[in-house]
Amino acid sequence: KTALAMVLAGTFARPLASPWEVWWIDTKNDPKDLASLRGWGFRNAASKKDSSGENGGLNNAVYFMIRTKNAKGEDLSTVDQVQMILEAAYDRGHVVLVIDEYVQAIVSARSAGKALLDVFQRGGGKNVGLIGLTQEPVYVPRQLISQATHIILLTLTYEADIKYVRNLNPNYVPPIKRGDPYGFYWSWVDGSADWDYYENQSVWFDQLQVAKPAGQEAI
φ and ψ at 65, to 5 degrees? Answer: -85, 120
Residue 147 has pLDDT above 90, yes or no: no
- Band (pLDDT 50/70/90 cuts) for residue 43 is very high
- Band (pLDDT 50/70/90 cuts) for residue 6 is very high
Among residues 39, 51, 45, 48, the alpha carbon closest in space to that of 14 is found at 39
- The whole-angstrom separation of Cα 4 and Cα 214 is 25
Largest CA distance in the chain: 57
Q: How many residues does the chain have?
A: 219
φ and ψ at 94, to 5 degrees? Answer: 55, 50
pLDDT, residue 217, reads 52
Residue 218 has pLDDT above 70, yes or no: no
Residue 215 has pLDDT above 70, yes or no: no
**81-130 tens-digit pLDDT:** 999 999 999 999 999 999 999 999 999 999 999 999 999 999 999 999 99
pLDDT, residue 210, reads 64
Mean pLDDT of the chain: 91
The DSSP call for residue 69 is B
Between strands 184-188 and 195-198, the pairing is antiparallel
**174-207 tens-digit pLDDT:** 999 999 999 999 999 988 899 999 999 888 888 8
pLDDT, residue 219, reads 45
CA 114 and chain centroid, separation: 18
